[in-house]
Copies of this chain bind each other. A is one copy, B any other.
């Protein structure tokens, strides 16, 4: 397929289950019984009220009564058809990988992956899917990647950015090796089981929580680079999803400068941190920053030192949705627009 036949890739579309009942047919009997008898209904909602029901657009609640993002036909019509999206990377955000009970979480992750593959990813040729892996146990996570990571519609393992882990750390490298072996991107998405604590304290408001998760994204990038994950695993690709974009140049500049002063400490790094970032990491655009002067955002993209870093995303059906027609600055040169809207994602996710 010619790259030019794919003109719009949305790298962050959320599919969801309506409730844990959707997963029961995919769960082993022992965990079905556990769910029935324990009354467990899934991971709890956040302590930060989210301003909108299910954090979703008012118009995204399907007539079927299912929760936003959980009605396959409704999502296709309201989003993929309306915007003529050629490829959508589907990101389920069910944080069972964060449960303290690792085996229960692993069973729910497997059930969730089977549900999404069979009831979503296989049923529309535009969809490419992410799988959830129980990263708290690298052994179980690798087993899940071996089980479903080779499915032709699966392109990514999806993690949440703030879960009490720095994913660059050594205990996780075998998982990322397994992902790379299967050609999967490691996607790190806004959200998680923990509040972001850049100063050690949890913020008071959802507004702060929402803004500060960008700091968690920065910390994850720093971790992957400094731990040598890209030296250890040269085919590893990491997508930072819904983390923002405009802070990337400042992070690269600071990391390069500090690395010059501290490189004795991380002798396995053979190149500048920003070189690893440009080769191995991409950012999705939503929520794209909106300076009063849109030209400033174009300067920031220039500061990244590459036209390959950004991949367009909408975050459908969430409240802070960016539309394909209006999110990018109107003055963006056409070749760069095409890179962001489609080509960068086609290359990074190996889309066809």
Contacts and interface: CB of A to CB of B under 8 A. Distances in A.
Interface of A: 49, 51, 161-166, 169, 192, 194-208, 210-212, 214-216, 218-220, 222-223, 226-227, 244-247, 249-251, 253-259, 261-266, 287, 289-292, 296, 299-300, 302-303, 305, 319-320
13 contacts: A162-B198, A164-B199, A164-B200, A169-B204, A192-B200, A203-B223, A204-B226, A206-B262, A206-B265, A207-B258, A208-B222, A258-B320, A292-B305
A82 to B, nearest CB: 22
Given A212-B222, A266-B207, A320-B261, A289 B198 contact: no
B165 A207 contact: no
B216 A203 contact: no
Nearest to A213: B198
Given A51-B264, A197-B200, A249-B296, A257 B287 contact: yes
Given A169-B204, A204-B169, A196 B211 contact: no
Given A250-B289, A289-B254, A319-B261, A216 B204 contact: no
Nearest to A299: B299
A220 B196 CA distance: 12
B207 A259 contact: yes
Nearest to A293: B303
B247 A251 contact: yes
Nearest to A264: B51
